[in-house]
């Protein structure tokens, strides 16, 4: 039987799982970690890095390191979310040929699905290394609140990564699946999922016979841990500005260091009440002095900074409960999913709203991938009697005269589903109708997402109102939409699979698949080089971070200047070896790098 992996493609971290002998397990990566940072970078030598290696070099290569690509997937260039990302990212985001988004890495443009594919490919390789055999099928999770364009773009990413995506499922649903699997529970559960980039809430009914039915879902695809980090960054930047009148945002490297420090402090504050933010040599003043950033962030201040963001999640919970037509006391269990739910204030807010302590029984980082693996196993194994009934998070309809949105399938309708409606022509002798397919929750068409458009031509010439066109909307189990239109008298029919308007063309996807295959061959043949290079780059970063301090201490002596020159020489040689992709030469330089690093640490410790 085919093995299917479950991938939680997260904004900040990704995780891969599989069902082995009936047991869902998370597969650790080569470093032994169960999650892998969703980060991609391209080095000076043009080499792609994914995961921890990419994260480790993010500070020194900020412009060519992508994080949180999931925030951009399936979005249009003109959307406010993309504008925000353009303004705040340390990497360059530009307009693509289809009103889509491209990310520039070392002068080369990559589509967002391509960047996500690099992460998915990494997860595929992690699974293959563990299983010792190739894997070709996957279930990938997406935020429940993703629209059709975002789902389709995620599917494209899977395809580019060489995976057959047999199902896209919603993250909270996946978490509930993992929670209820093999337990024979009968409960109404709420899944509160606050991750790095998105917030989702789903309310589900788990029936004892393996039926998981989503009652209502809602969320915000631009509300996550990244926003909390941004608040902390603002606070640090403002404090520094007040003190030195310098805007740290001008400097990409400083910004990347701030981002790292902000996230680190935020995570620390889940366990302690004060965290130290200490960034030596963050920038140089106009008088050429090296300036440091040192501040203490308390849990109380962090909670104030994040207060309105947490309140937004609670408002969405309230709305979803209303949509589900349930009272709080009818929710029998609350599951916390996503890294942000480790924040005590968030746990308190959820407990307060639902009037019950959330369950501690699921692992917030792993539960989504496990659920995806369970769903994958169930899809290829007919013996497993598990039924997943999810809902469409947004209403689906068409644009009608006067820019109105006419709803055909309301939000929270169980999928797969199909609805029909008959329209008539609005002019005499009208031979064509244009159908604009939209998704969203506003009665005004312009506020909703345009999924696609098509024209039904060749209608019979007749008086207005006499030609009847039957329009059928279908949403499949992946949440992806197709539309058919039929002239009821002639039987003339046309249909479209509503592919993402902001997505990629078939030809582009094909080219990207080829490209990513080449990359994989390259990756597999150079593992020895990779591990030496990782170690060398890490040490170079550490040495370079210490350079300014060491320089200050030793520059007054000939001996000291000599030592610095030597160190620079070793770093340059190691870089050359990395550039040439020569594993033996990198290993040779590694010893010198380590020695230099030890010496530098010794010098700094003495000051
Ligand atoms: P996820 O997308 O589920 O991997 O969640 C990642 C988000 O959770 C990031 O914004 C992390 O900074 C955040 N996170 C991880 N651990 C903690 C923690 N201990 N306290 C607060 N936030 C955390």
Select which of 100, 122, 193, 263 is catalytic: 193
Atom of ligand 1 nearest to the CA of 364: 3
Q: Which two tokens stand for residue 249?
A: 């945002």
Atom of ligand 1 nearest to the CA of 198: 2
Burial of 378 (0-12, 13-18, 19+ CB in 10 A): buried
Select which of 171, 220, 226, 449 is catalytic: 171
CA of 600 to the centre of ligand 1 (A): 33
Select which of 70, 124, 259, 266 is catalytic: 70
Atom of ligand 1 nearest to the CA of 11: 2
Q: What is the mean pLDDT of residues 84-96?
A: 90
What is the tens place of the pLDDT at every residue in 132-181?
999 999 999 999 999 888 999 999 999 999 999 999 999 999 999 999 99
Q: Residue 502: pLDDT band by 50, 70, 90 thresholds?
A: very low
Q: What is the mean pLDDT of residues 411-428?
A: 89
Which helix H or strand E contains 154, and what residues bound it? helix 148-160
What is the tens place of the pLDDT at every residue in 96-126?
998 899 999 999 999 999 999 999 999 999 9
Q: Residue 559: pLDDT band by 50, 70, 90 thresholds?
A: low
Sign of the CA dihedral running 178, 179, 185, 186: negative
Give the pLDDT of residue 306.
98
CA of 218 to the centre of ligand 1 (A): 20
The answer to whether residue 500 scores a pLDDT higher than 60 is no
Q: Which residues pair with 65 in a beta bridge?
A: 41
Annotated catalytic, 390?
no
Give the pLDDT of residue 518.
72
For atom 15 of ligand 1, the residue with the nearest CA is: 339
Q: What 8-state DSSP symbol labels residue 359?
A: B
% residues pLDDT > 90 (the chain): 55
For atom 22 of ligand 1, the residue with the nearest CA is: 340
CA of 211 to the centre of ligand 1 (A): 30
Closest CA to 229 of 197, 272, 200, 275: 197
The answer to whether residue 517 scores a pLDDT higher than 80 is no
Considering only residues 521 and 464, tell me which one the structure prediction assigns the higher pLDDT. Answer: 464
Residue 166 φ/ψ, nearest 5 degrees? -80, -15
Q: Residue 598: pLDDT band by 50, 70, 90 thresholds?
A: confident
Q: What is the mean pLDDT of residues 235-264?
A: 93
Q: In whole angstroms, what is the distance from residue 131 CA to residue 17 CA?
A: 11
**Count of CA atoms in the C-beta half-sphere (13 A) of 392:** 27
Atom of ligand 1 nearest to the CA of 13: 4
Residue 392 φ/ψ, nearest 5 degrees? -85, 130
The answer to whether residue 569 scores a pLDDT higher than 80 is yes
CA of 388 to the centre of ligand 1 (A): 28
The answer to whether residue 361 scores a pLDDT higher than 50 is yes
Annotated catalytic, 193?
yes
Q: In whole angstroms, what is the distance from residue 386 CA to residue 377 CA?
A: 10
What is the tens place of the pLDDT at every residue in 287-303?
888 899 999 999 999 99
- Domains of the chain as residue ranges with CATH: 4-224+308-389 (3.30.420.40), 225-306 (3.90.640.10), 394-498 (2.60.34.10), 513-606 (1.20.140)
CA of 339 to the centre of ligand 1 (A): 3
Q: Which two tokens stand for residue 565?
A: 């020159």
Q: What is the mean pLDDT of residues 12-24?
A: 95
Annotated catalytic, 156?
no
Atom of ligand 1 nearest to the CA of 225: 10
Q: What is the mean pLDDT of residues 414-443?
A: 87
Q: Residue 411: pLDDT band by 50, 70, 90 thresholds?
A: very high
Q: Residue 521: pLDDT band by 50, 70, 90 thresholds?
A: low
Mean per-residue pLDDT over the chain, rounded: 89
Q: In whole angstroms, what is the distance from residue 261 CA to residue 296 CA?
A: 12
CA of 267 to the centre of ligand 1 (A): 7
Omega before 416 cis (within 30°)?
Answer: yes
User: Which range has the worst mean pLDDT, 235-249, 321-335, 467-481?
Assistant: 467-481
CA of 170 to the centre of ligand 1 (A): 19
User: Which range has the worst mean pLDDT, 163-177, 373-387, 507-521?
Assistant: 507-521
CA of 195 to the centre of ligand 1 (A): 6
Q: What is the mean pLDDT of residues 343-369?
A: 94
CA of 521 to the centre of ligand 1 (A): 33
Give the pLDDT of residue 520.
63
The answer to whether residue 395 scores a pLDDT higher than 50 is yes
Give the pLDDT of residue 212.
93
Give the pLDDT of residue 329.
95
Cα angle 202, 203, 208 (rounded to 5 degrees) comes to 125
Q: Residue 523: pLDDT band by 50, 70, 90 thresholds?
A: low
Q: What is the mean pLDDT of residues 425-446?
A: 86
The answer to whether residue 393 scores a pLDDT higher than 80 is yes
Annotated catalytic, 8?
yes
The answer to whether residue 37 scores a pLDDT higher than 90 is yes
Which letter, b or e, does each residue of 247-262 get, where b requires 16 or more Cβ atoms within 10 Å of its Cβ? ebbebebbbbbbbebb
Omega before 175 cis (within 30°)?
Answer: no
**Pocket probe mutation, ligand 1, options 192, 230, 267, max atoms within 8 Å of Cβ:** 267
Pocket of ligand 1 (CB under 6 A): 10-13, 195-196, 225-226, 263, 266-267, 270, 338-340, 342-343, 365
For atom 19 of ligand 1, the residue with the nearest CA is: 267
Q: In whole angstroms, what is the distance from residue 250 CA to residue 352 CA?
A: 41
For atom 16 of ligand 1, the residue with the nearest CA is: 339
**Pocket probe mutation, ligand 1, options 175, 196, 227, max atoms within 8 Å of Cβ:** 196
For atom 9 of ligand 1, the residue with the nearest CA is: 196
**Pocket probe mutation, ligand 1, options 37, 219, 271, 340, max atoms within 8 Å of Cβ:** 340
């Amino acid at each position: 039987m085919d093995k299917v992996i479950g991938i939680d493609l997260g904004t900040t971290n990704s995780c891969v799982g599989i069902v082995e002998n009936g047991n869902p397990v998370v597969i650790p990566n080569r470093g032994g970690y169960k999650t892998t940072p969703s980060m991609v970078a391209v080095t000076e030598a043009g080499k792609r890095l994914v995961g921890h290696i990419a994260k480790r070099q993010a500070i020194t290569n900020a412009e060519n390191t992508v994080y949180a690509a999931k925030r951009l997937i399936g979005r249009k260039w003109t959307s406010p979310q993309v504008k925000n990302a353009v303004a705040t990212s340390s990497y360059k985001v530009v307009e693509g040929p289809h009103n889509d988004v491209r990310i520039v890495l070392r002068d080369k443009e990559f589509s967002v699905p391509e960047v996500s594919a690099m992460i998915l490919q990494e997860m595929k390789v992690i699974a293959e290394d563990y299983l010792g055999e190739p894997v070709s099928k996957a279930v990938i999770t997406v935020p429940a609140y993703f629209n059709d364009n975002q789902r389709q773009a995620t599917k494209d990413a899977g395809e580019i990564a060489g995976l057959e995506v047999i199902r896209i499922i919603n993250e909270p649903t996946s978490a509930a699946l993992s929670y209820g699997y093999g337990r024979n529970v009968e409960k109404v559960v709420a899944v509160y999922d606050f991750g790095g980039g998105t917030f989702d809430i789903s309310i589900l009914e788990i029936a004892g016979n393996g039926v998981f039915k989503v009652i209502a879902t809602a969320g915000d695809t631009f509300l996550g841990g990244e926003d909390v980090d941004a608040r902390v960054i603002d606070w640090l930047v403002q404090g520094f500005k007040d003190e030195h009148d310098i805007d740290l945002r001008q400097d990409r490297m400083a910004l990347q260091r701030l981002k790292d420090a902000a996230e680190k402090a935020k995570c620390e504050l889940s366990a302690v009440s004060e965290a130290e933010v200490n960034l030596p040599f963050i920038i140089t003043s106009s008088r050429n002095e090296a300036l440091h950033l040192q501040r203490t962030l308390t849990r109380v201040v962090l909670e104030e900074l994040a207060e309105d963001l947490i309140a937004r999640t609670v408002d969405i919970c309230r709305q979803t409960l209303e949509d589900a037509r349930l009272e709080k006391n009818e929710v029998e269990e609350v599951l916390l999913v996503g890294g942000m739910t480790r924040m005590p204030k968030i746990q308190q807010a959820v407990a307060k709203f639902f009037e019950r302590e959330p369950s501690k029984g699921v692992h917030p980082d792993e539960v989504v991938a496990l659920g995806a693996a369970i769903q994958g196993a169930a899809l290829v194994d007919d013996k497993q009697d598990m039924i997943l009934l999810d809902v469409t998070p947004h209403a689906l309809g068409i644009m009608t005269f006067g820019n109105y949105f006419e709803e055909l399938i309301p939000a929270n309708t169980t999928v797969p589903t199909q609805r029909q409606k008959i329209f008539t022509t609005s002019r005499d002798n009208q031979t064509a109708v244009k159908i604009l397919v939209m998704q969203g929750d506003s009665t005004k068409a312009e506020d909703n997402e345009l999924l696609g458009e098509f024209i039904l031509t060749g209608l019979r010439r007749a008086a207005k109102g006499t030609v009847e066109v039957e329009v059928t909307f279908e949403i499949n189990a992946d949440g992806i939409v197709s539309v058919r239109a039929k002239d009821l008298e002639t039987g003339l029919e046309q249909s479209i699979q509503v592919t993402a308007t902001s997505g990629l063309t078939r030809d582009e996807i094909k080219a990207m698949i080829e490209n990513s295959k080449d990359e994989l061959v390259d990756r597999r043949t150079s593992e020895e080089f990779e591990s030496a290079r990782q170690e060398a780059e890490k040490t170079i970063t550490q040495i370079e971070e210490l350079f300014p301090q060491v320089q200050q201490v030793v520059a007054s002596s000939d001996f000291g200047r000599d030592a610095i020159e030597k160190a620079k020489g070793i770093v340059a040689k190691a870089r050359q070896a990395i550039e040439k992709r020569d594993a033996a030469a990198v290993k040779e330089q590694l010893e010198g790098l380590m020695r230099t690093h030890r010496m530098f640490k010794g010098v700094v410790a003495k000051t």
